[in-house]
Structure 1
Amino acid sequence: MLSLLALASSACWGTSDFFAGLRARTMPAAAVVAWSQGMALVLLTVVLSVTGFGGPTGWMVWAVAAGVAGSGALVCFYAALSTGTMGVVAPVASLGVVVPVLLGILTGDQPPVLAWVGMVVAIVGVALASGPELSGGVSPRPLALACVAAVGFGLALFCLDRGARVSLLHTLWGMRATSVSLFLVAGVVLRRAGGVRAADLPALGLIGAGDLVANGLFAYASSHGVVSIASVLGSLYPVVTVLLARVLLQERLRPVQGVGVGISVAGVVVLALARP
């Protein structure tokens, strides 16, 4: 059950990233993140107003750390995607899953041998499914942005897991409140609102909702299970993004991407068979 929730989070993330990447081609990446996160914060505030803001406080530090790492990673990721170098950006950014896996091991995770096999297979599959550039020159800017995004995503996942062990809703709210506050400060200093029009708000709201649901599914799965395994399953989002591009944009899959999708599925099967 927990594995299915982690897989569902990757589906939500992959869908959200696909449409966010399209929006980032027509408006600043920071604006896409800021407005989508802001609308998700409004939704969470309404939910917590009903359920109550009171409760434990141990989630705060983790939520702030997740908000800083996650928002910075998203800006770097969307900015890199908007340059049209998906073949460089996606594989590098997807390797950020190594961060929570290692941190999970260092803090007590003990996956069985079969789970280790499944995780390695799945990570290799994701990198290949992203369509890596195997030849030609690589621009240093998108590569650097992808590396920063990878570390940020990995840290955000780990911090989200730790905060959710105290309170899932409060951690999600604190994460969004942190990222939105950072963007508000940036907007005031730069005196910009990102050029967002009223017509853009519904799409940005859906992107924010997709990211929020993905975070919630992952946080629940990881905090009730093994963070290293949940992180790998949740990080299969590039496979979803690639398949959406194939179906909706008619983008052709490279042979290496087809192989990667198959390897990713094999890794998921192995993980499903593993028993912590």
Structure 2
Amino acid sequence: MIKITGMDLSTIFGLGSAVSWGTGDFCGGVATKRSSVLTVAIISQLVGLALLAFSAFIIGEAMAPWQDILWGALAGISGGIGLLALYHALSVSKMGVVAPAAAVFSAIVPVVFGIAMEGFPATIQLIGFFFAFTGVWLISREEYGAKMNSNDLKLSLIAGFGFGFFMIFIDRIQGASILWPLVGARIASLTMFFLAALYLRKAEIPAVRYIPLMALAGIFDTGGNLFYALAAQAGRLDIAAVLTSLYPAVTVLLAWMFLKERLARRQWIGVLSVMIAVVLIS
């Protein structure tokens, strides 16, 4: 496998996915304070769809075989279900209760699948997985968060399994084309969001000044999808999934930098744990 400054491509792409997804979540989270969740989701996904399709045309990427488009569509449906479950959970419970559980579950699913398909990774990487899970939990957890009830656990499981199977389905893409399967994923998830908006009647036309922020959320979310797809193709599924699951660290650090949100001591410990995990996994 190609090495770059001591890291393989899977590690570099996985970290790129975490940075991009974490930045996208930060932009999307700020946008949802000013518009409805479904509005932000639909606009950001539309931007991502346009970006992926335009990029595929510009670089002349060959159309992917129908099997890869199908895997992409399944990934979009799975990820869409996970996103809707997470957003619903965040609307009825505290973020510090459901977000860390969803993040950990979303990593555990592809890790178990990856180990079943490819065997155990090196022992030092397994230790890195432990530090990664611990770090994500500490970073995302509220300092005085409420205890998790059965409904919180159910929604976190649905969100985590949705995101986890998104990672598994993307890993099933076998052809050289990456962008077109992601286009299929975007079309599938957008269809779900439009149907949800029609059913719930909660989508609204946003103020023009907030659209750029929603567009940024879509751009970074798309970048996260692309980097993850490249990471999954370049190396082991479990390693790519665990590195990608570090995205909450990026979101929290951006909130600290730009929104001046205070980080508790256990969050800084979580950041340190994540940094140790990156070193051990790579």
Fold conserved between structures, TM > 0.5: yes
What's 2:221 paired with?
Answer: 211
Aligned pair count?
272
Pairing partner for 2:108 from 98, 102, 105: 98
1:24 partnered with 2:21: no
Using a 3 Å threshold, how does the CA distance of structure 1 residues 28 and 164 change in structure 2: closer, same or farther? farther
Q: 1:103-144 CA distances to partner (integer Å, 9 max, x unpaired)?
A: 111222441122111112211111112134566455765554
Q: Which amino acid is the alignment partner of residue 122 of structure 1? A: A
Q: What are the Cα deviations for residues 152-201 of structure 1, in whole angstroms up to 9, with x where unaligned?
A: 11111111121265531121111001111222334455566433233332
Tell me the alpha carbon deviations over residues 242-267 of structure 1, each in whole angstroms, 9 at most, x when there is no partner. 11111112111112111111111111
Counterpart of 1:75? 84
**1:115 matched to which residue of 2?**
125
Instruction: Structure 1: state its 5+ residue gaps.
Output: none
- Which sits farther off after the overlay, 159-168 or 30-39? 159-168
Deviation of 1:146 after TM superposition, in Å, equals 3.0
**TM-score, normalised relative to structure 2:** 0.87
1:260 maps onto 2:270 in alignment: yes
Q: Which of 168, 192, 199 is the aligned partner of 1:158?
A: 168
Equivalent residue runs for 1:18-97 within 5 Å: 18-50=26-58, 51-52=60-61, 54-81=63-90, 85-95=94-104, 96-97=106-107
TM-score (norm 1): 0.89
The separation in 2 between residues aligned to 1:199 and 1:210, in whole angstroms, is: 19
Q: State the partner residue of 2:235.
A: 225
State the match for 1:2 in structure 2.
Answer: 10
Measured in 2, the distance between the counterparts of 1:21 and 1:82 equals 12
Q: Deviations over 1:39-81 (max 9, x none)?
A: 1111222223332563422212211111111122223334444
Q: Indicate which of 178, 192, 196 corresponds to 1:168.
A: 178
Q: SS at 1:252's partner residue?
A: coil
CA contact (8 A) 1:7 1:234 kept: yes
Supply the distance in 2 between the matched residues of 1:262 and 1:190 (Cα, whole angstroms): 41
Whether contact under 8 Å (2:18, 2:245) holds in the other structure is yes
Poorly superposed stretches of 4+, deviation over 6 Å: none
Question: What are the within-5 Å matches in structure 2 for residues 233-272 of structure 1?
Answer: 233-272=243-282
Equivalent position to 1:198, from 174, 183, 208: 208
Q: Does the 8 Å contact 1:23/1:32 carry over to 2?
A: yes
Q: Distance in 1 between matches of 2:95 and 2:200?
A: 29
Structure 2 unaligned spans of 5+: 1-8
Structure-1 separation of matches of 2:246 and 2:174:
21
RMSD: 2.3
The amino acid that maps onto 1:16 is G
